[in-house]
Structure 1
Amino acid sequence: MKSNAFLLLVLIMVSACSSKEDLPTVKDVDLNKYQGTWYEIARLPNRFEKGLKCVTANYTLNEDGTIKVINKGINTEDQSKSETAIGKAKVPDAQFPGQIKVSFFGPFYGDYYIIDLDENYQFALVGDPSRKYLWILSRTPRIDDKIYNNLITKAEQQGFSIKELHLTKQDCNL
């Protein structure tokens, strides 16, 4: 039941991410390199991740070019409970590979814009054009302070409210 609530909240987020405001994205994304597990280092608060820690996103490239998305998190109040949301993603326009669409339910897709991406695919800054959603992702549970601060600066320069940024605890094994 709780997983369904998590999925519903993800759907709400996806539906809300439909603003047409401009947000620059990276010009190149190699989906083969992007796939795998990413740890959430920080995020803007949102309802669908409230009360979660040890949040990860795993991306797997499908044969048809779409991407399987598995988001997981552990309940901060009861670590025996976890939340999982399974969805799919696609790049609708190959000329803009950093502008990805993600769906966790039916035909509804939300924006997943890769704003910054390390050339070695070790960290990423992801948001949406409405500036309501923002994630700092890393291949490891922790990120260097200098890199983190650079990503925060980039997010702020793009109009995100970094004062509200929530650091995600990564103190468990998923």
Structure 2
Amino acid sequence: MRGGPNPTPRAYCHRAEPHEQDGRNRHMRAALLTLLLVFGSCAPQPVYRRSEAPLPVASIDLGRFLGLWYEQARLPNRFEYGCQVVTVRYARHDGGVSMTNTCTDLAGDERVAHGRARLVGEGKFEVSAFGPFWSDHWVLDRGADYSWAIVGEPDGKYLWVLTRQPQITPEQRAAFEQKIRALGYRPADLVWAAQSDDDLVQSES
């Protein structure tokens, strides 16, 4: 270190080559994204729900809940800023459940974050990206055939609408808006996924 009172001995110094530095930067960005995706509720975030916390669904068949989900809507949050297409995949792994979030931005670049999930009660998941730290993810509503799910958390700061298909119809969106209102949220507060190229936006308001 230059300018410090105790410079690092030269024998222990290592100047990273450009490709090494790029690799480290990518790993750091991936690690940060993972932490933000899973622990976003730790960051300052407004409360959007206008009522008491809704109860999670009465039952979840984990085997049917696993697989690939497409995000159709979300409450605004900093860790998904700029994401145009978002998916989350739940899979069995090492006796537990792995969680892979993929965000594609307007330029087509992908950001991937990995975490863990566990079912801790009826309709209640906990997710983690690091060590012993877990955050709540509640399934607030779902389709009987597991074709869609609305996921939130107790504080009313985060909400996601997930479906098995990449896109939804206007009629399906209207039905989701009704369900969201019934849970105490305003549909106008949500960021909805692009259903065509005309819907793509540069940034979230």
Instruction: Flag whether TM exceeds 0.5 (same fold).
Output: yes
Contact map agreement 1:57 1:71 (CA 8 A) in 2: yes
Q: What secondary structure does 1:149 align onto?
A: helix
Say whether the 8 Å CA contact 1:132–1:160 is kept in structure 2: no
Identity across aligned pairs (percent)? 32
Work out which of the residue numbers 128, 131, 137 in structure 2 matches 1:112.
Answer: 137
2:203 equivalent in structure 1: none
Secondary structure at the counterpart of residue 166 of structure 2: coil
Contact 2:72 2:192 in 1 (8 A): yes
Paired letter, 1:82:
E
Q: Deviations over 1:89-129 (max 9, x none)?
A: 11123xx2x11111122222111111111111111111111
Q: Per the alignment, in what secondary structure is the counterpart of residue 140 of structure 2?
A: strand
Give 2:79's aligned residue: 48
Distance 1:51 1:126, change over 3 A: same
Q: CA deviation at 1:170?
A: 6.0
Counterpart residue number, 2:64 = 33
2:195 and 2:35 mapped to 1: Cα distance?
Answer: 24
Q: CA deviation at 1:171?
A: 6.3
Shift of 1:11: 4.3
Figure out how many residues of one structure are paired with residues of the other and give that number.
164
Q: Quote the residue 2:13 is aligned against.
A: none
2:40 equivalent to 1:9: no
Q: Distance in 1 between matches of 2:94 and 2:129?
A: 19
2:107 is equivalent to residue 92 of structure 1: no
Higher helix share: 2
Q: CA deviation at 1:8?
A: 3.2
Match of 1:152 in 2: 177
Determine helix, strand or coil for the equivalent of 1:92.
strand
Structure 2 CA distance, aligned partners of 1:148 and 1:171? 14
Out of 126, 130, 133, the residue aligned to residue 101 of structure 1 is 126
Could you tell me how far 1:24 is from its partner in structure 2? 1.0
Give the structure with higher Rg (CA): 2
Q: Deviations over 1:33-56 (max 9, x none)?
A: 111100001111111110112110
Cα pair 2:34 2:115 within 8 Å, conserved: no
Does the 8 Å CA contact 1:54/1:171 hold for their aligned counterparts? no
Tell me how far apart the structure 1 counterparts of residues 137 and 157 of structure 2 sit (CA, whole Å).
12
Q: Which residue pairs with 1:136 in the alignment?
A: 161
| Larger RCO of the pair (alpha carbons < 8 Å, separation 6+) | 1
Long gaps (5+) in structure 2: 1-25, 198-205
Mapping for residues 157-168 of structure 1, pairs under 5 Å = 157-168=182-193
Deviation readout 1:15-40 (Å, 9 max, x if unpaired)? 369x9x63211112111111110000
User: What is the distance in 1 between the residues matched to 2:187 and 2:131?
Assistant: 31
Contact 2:72/2:160 (8 A) holds in 1: yes
8 Å contact from structure 1 (residues 23, 128) kept in 2: no
Distance 1:171 1:55 in 2: 15
